[in-house]
């Protein structure tokens, strides 16, 4: 299995593209748990990016629980592959509580979520 990343310099922040693509590949199983990722410098060279750009993506992925750094051994896809789902569930619970506090009914709260998701995924 190999890491496949395409950076489109016209399509937003490169670090976010790297983060999103690694996250999706980990979530889908294309990058299995324990898969060793390239070094920051190695991936930066391969993609034609600054090392700080890749480092920023790796830091975000580690904060999300998608990858783990094992010191000199390298960076790997983490076993906690459902970390993103747990964070999304926590965010959803926070949103639901806030919508209820604001007096929105379920229909209005769901409409707001659908609009936000549509905007985020378009």
Q: What is the pLDDT of residue 1?
A: 59
pLDDT digits (tens, 9 = 90+) for 50-88: 999 999 999 999 998 899 998 889 999 987 646 667 677
3-state helix, strand and coil shares in percent for the chain, rounded to the nearest 5: 60, 5, 35
Q: Residue 88, exposed/middle/buried by CB under 10 A (0-12, 13-18, 19+)? A: exposed
Q: What is the pLDDT of residue 121?
A: 87
Q: Is the pLDDT of residue 93 over 90?
A: no
Query: What sign for the dihedral angle of Cα 28, 30, 31, 33?
Result: positive
Q: What is the pLDDT of residue 33?
A: 87
**Most confident region among 2-16, 39-53, 73-87, 88-102 by mean pLDDT:** 39-53
């Amino acid at each position: 299995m190999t890491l496949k990343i395409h950076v489109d310099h016209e399509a937003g922040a490169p670090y976010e593209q790297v983060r999103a693509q690694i996250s999706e590949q980990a979530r889908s199983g294309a990058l299995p748990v324990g898969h060793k990722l390239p070094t920051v410098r190695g991936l930066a060279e391969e993609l034609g990016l600054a090392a700080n750009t890749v480092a920023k993506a790796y830091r975000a992925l580690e904060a999300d629980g998608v990858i783990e750094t094992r010191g000199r051994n390298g960076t790997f896809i983490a076993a906690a592959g459902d970390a993103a789902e747990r964070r999304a569930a926590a965010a959803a619970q926070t949103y639901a509580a806030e919508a209820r506090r604001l007096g929105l009914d379920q229909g209005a709260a769901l409409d707001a979520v659908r609009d936000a998701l549509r905007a985020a995924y378009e």
